């Protein structure tokens, strides 16, 4: 009996403490709310605050607002923090001006005062984006500890993005690129593509029938720059080219080869046949509206990203194009900036925000392209051949995931090391699609075997030098009758490989960006000549061209309505406002590299 009395007394003390805490925070509870969630277990503070919130049923209620505020520091899950901030803001925006003016704020309710001030400045500046951005920046300085100063409400960010779309004709773009460090040459190639497209000097009209070698009337010529021989990148020598893009840091390049400064390998187009003539070339993007009127370039190597972001906001920028490397993209997408962002790289796990879109030269996109294409060619038993590293495993996984989506079965993954000097078996190990990995671990899914048990297609991820070993070795190990079809990515396409290489690659099919694949030979000649025939930089230049166009159509990106024939691919928008690039296919035939449609 004594123990039971002590237990009841302790329970009464706990309930009294919980109730007192709620009263101090400004919430009012009825007898039902102060009760327990079960017969034997008292409710947590988070649950009791949630009962107050639920009782408001979405209607304006200061009790609910105070409950949101008291609940927020108790939450441990980041998503729950963001949801709390979002719902606090949504509740506040439902107050009419009269209701807002009647709110009595106590002297110690600093967080509530911050929220009300944010509501007032938002309501007073909804028609002036620049004034709103400046006011929010000042508010974040005045209330640095307010949860919304660290994570803006998603609805507030979305409303500012909508304002951008309405005022886009006066849009100002901040171009964030590395322009002075080891990645200077990569950043500079993107910058040149962006500014040439902005100035109308880079004209890309997609279509393999174009063989015009003279600049069309009215089209500005590209600015001429000295051609430099290609060597390893050096921060001290800005004229030296880049030979090994930093894939470890997420550089958006598919070619780690060192391209020689020799003439670019021409793509032999069907237009060379007498029956076809050159199509007229339009002025650059003449059918597209230009909303960007001002561009300012910021060097991400010169100052910390937070400093540049603050400077861009102070400069009245509307949209950030960049940065380039994954670490910087993560930092910027995770920031609390209200500015729109067109990041020039993708993240392994995208940060989904209404003001963030992603655009990159993703090798995973190429792998997905390849899976779709090989499937369309009625192949059923593919093998992905890559180097034995994380990059190779990522490519194999992307291919397998897409293969499964198209109805395919097993995808096998075989690896090699460096320049292979011994036979490569066409066996590999099955790649478990991401959608099945949990189930496979639990023994719930069994992979079907490929039809016939053999390999009928090989997707090779290798440099052109590695390919000179790999393709002859695979051909030697298989009979002509049962030989699988060979496919490769743009990683294998290098300028100046010569006729011997092209004859040796007979029948191999590969993808590359439209600019390199014959979409505009005259422009390719100019750009490749400028960059010492380094296709890595040509691809980055094409990316810069398309980034300019995307900046002008950012609203279409956000609404997922964008469709664009770009210099870096046929562009569309997928989940998390990520640009997907579909690439054309080429084939080595009789000593030439030819658009596949033309060869057929």
Q: SS3 of 124, please?
A: helix
Q: Is the pLDDT of residue 149 over 80?
A: yes
Between 326 and 210, the more confident residue is 326
pTM over cut 0.75: no
The position carrying tokens 């709390």 is 84
Rounded Cα distance between 183 and 160, Å, is 33
Q: Is the pLDDT of residue 9 over 50?
A: no
Q: Is the pLDDT of residue 164 over 70?
A: no
Summarize pLDDT for 105-138 with one digit per residue, the tens: 999 999 999 999 999 988 888 777 777 877 888 8
What percentage of the chain carries pLDDT values higher than 70? 72
Rounded Cα distance between 570 and 542, Å, is 12
Summarize pLDDT for 444-491 with one digit per residue, the tens: 334 444 444 589 999 999 999 999 989 988 888 787 777 899 999 999
User: What is the β-pairing status of strands 457-460 and 509-511?
Assistant: unpaired
Mean of the pLDDT values across residues 310-319?
87
Mean pLDDT estimate for the chain? 77
pLDDT of residue 490: 95
Torsion angles phi and psi, residue 362, rounded to 5: -75, 120
Between 222 and 278, the more confident residue is 222
Rounded Cα distance between 367 and 384, Å, is 9
Q: Is the pLDDT of residue 160 over 50?
A: yes
Rounded Cα distance between 588 and 131, Å, is 58
Closest-CA residue to 64 (of 30, 35, 34, 28): 28
Q: How far is CA 491 from CA 150, 242, 362, 367, in A?
A: 41, 15, 12, 11
Between 83 and 15, the more confident residue is 83
- Give strand pairing partners of 188: none
pLDDT of residue 162: 62
Q: SS3 of 100, please?
A: helix
Q: Among 191-195, 385-389, 545-549, 556-560, which stretch is predicted with the lowest mean pLDDT?
A: 556-560
Binned at pLDDT 50, 70 and 90, residue 562 comes out as confident
Q: Is the pLDDT of residue 259 over 80?
A: no
* Helix-then-strand count for the chain, H and E: 21, 16
Torsion angles phi and psi, residue 429, rounded to 5: -120, 145
Summarize pLDDT for 289-309 with one digit per residue, the tens: 567 888 999 999 999 998 999
pLDDT of residue 77: 86
Binned at pLDDT 50, 70 and 90, residue 504 comes out as very high
CB-count burial class (<10 Å; 0-12, 13-18, 19+) for 289: exposed
Binned at pLDDT 50, 70 and 90, residue 13 comes out as very low
Cis peptide preceding 323, ω within 30 of 0 = yes
pLDDT of residue 421: 60
Mean of the pLDDT values across residues 26-46?
51
Both tokens of 129, joined, read 């984006």
Binned at pLDDT 50, 70 and 90, residue 171 comes out as confident
Q: Is the pLDDT of residue 371 over 90?
A: yes
Element (H, E) at 263: none
Q: Which domains does the chain have, with CATH numbers?
A: 15-151 (1.25.40.650), 168-204+220-361+522-581 (3.40.50.2300), 363-512 (3.40.50.2300)
Rounded Cα distance between 478 and 172, Å, is 58
């Amino acid at each position: 009996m004594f123990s039971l009395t002590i237990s009841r007394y302790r329970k009464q003390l706990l309930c009294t403490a919980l109730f007192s805490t709620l009263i101090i925070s400004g919430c009012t509870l009825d007898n039902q709310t102060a009760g327990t969630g079960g017969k034997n277990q008292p409710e947590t503070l988070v649950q009791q605050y949630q009962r107050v919130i639920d009782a408001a049923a979405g209607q304006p209620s200061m009790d609910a607002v105070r409950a949101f505020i008291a609940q927020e520091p108790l939450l441990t899950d980041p998503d729950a923090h963001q949801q709390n901030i979002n719902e606090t803001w949504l509740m506040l925006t439902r107050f009419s001006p009269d209701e807002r003016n009647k709110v009595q704020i106590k002297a110690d309710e600093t967080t509530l005062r911050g929220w009300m001030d944010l509501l007032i400045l938002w309501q007073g500046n909804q028609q002036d984006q620049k004034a709103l951005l400046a006011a929010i920046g000042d508010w974040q300085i005045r209330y640095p500890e307010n949860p919304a100063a660290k994570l803006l409400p998603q609805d507030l960010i979305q409303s500012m993005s909508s304002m951008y779309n309405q005022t886009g004709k006066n849009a100002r773009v901040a171009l964030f690129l590395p322009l002075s460090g080891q990645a200077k040459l990569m950043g500079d190639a993107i910058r040149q593509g962006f500014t040439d497209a902005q100035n109308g000097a880079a004209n890309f009209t997609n279509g393999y029938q174009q063989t015009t070698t003279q600049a069309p009337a009215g089209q500005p010529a590209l600015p001429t720059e000295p051609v430099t021989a290609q060597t390893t990148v050096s921060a001290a020598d800005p004229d030296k080219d880049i030979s090994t893009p930093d894939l470890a840091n997420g550089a958006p390049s598919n070619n780690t080869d060192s391209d020689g400064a020799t003439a670019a390998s021409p793509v032999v187009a069907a237009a060379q046949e007498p029956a076809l003539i050159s199509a007229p070339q339009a002025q650059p993007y003449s059918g597209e509206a230009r909303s960007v009127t001002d561009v300012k370039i910021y060097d991400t190597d010169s100052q910390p990203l937070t400093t540049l972001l603050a400077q861009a906001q102070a400069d009245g920028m509307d949209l950030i194009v960049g940065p380039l490397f994954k670490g910087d993209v993560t930092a910027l997408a995770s920031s609390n900036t209200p500015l729109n962002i067109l990041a020039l790289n993708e993240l392994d796990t995208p940060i989904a925000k209404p003001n963030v879109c992603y655009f990159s030269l993703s090798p995973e996109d190429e792998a997905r392209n390849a899976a779709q294409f090989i499937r369309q060619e009625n192949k059923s038993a593919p093998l992905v051949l890559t180097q034995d590293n994380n990059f190779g495993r990522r490519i194999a996984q992307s291919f397998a995931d897409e293969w499964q989506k198209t109805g395919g079965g097993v995808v096998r993954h075989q690896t090699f090391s460096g320049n292979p000097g011994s036979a490569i078996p066409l066996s590999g190990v099955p790649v478990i699609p991401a959608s099945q990995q949990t189930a496979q671990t639990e023994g719930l899914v069994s992979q079907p075997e490929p039809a016939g048990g053999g390999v009928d297609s090989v997707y090779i991820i290798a440099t052109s030098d590695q390919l000179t070993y790999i393709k002859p070795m695979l051909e030697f190990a298989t009979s002509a009758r049962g030989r699988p079809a060979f496919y490769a990515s743009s990683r294998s396409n290098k300028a100046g490989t010569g006729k011997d290489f092209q004859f040796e690659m007979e029948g191999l099919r590969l993808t590359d960006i439209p600019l390199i694949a014959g979409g505009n030979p005259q422009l390719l000649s100019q750009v490749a000549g400028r960059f010492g025939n380094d296709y890595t930089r040509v691809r980055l230049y094409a990316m810069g061209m398309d980034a300019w166009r995307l900046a002008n159509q950012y609203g279409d990106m956000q609404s997922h309505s964008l469709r664009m024939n770009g210099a870096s691919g046929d562009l569309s928008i997928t989940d998390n406002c990520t640009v997907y690039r579909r690439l054309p296919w080429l084939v080595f035939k009789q000593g030439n590299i030819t658009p596949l449609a033309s060869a057929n």
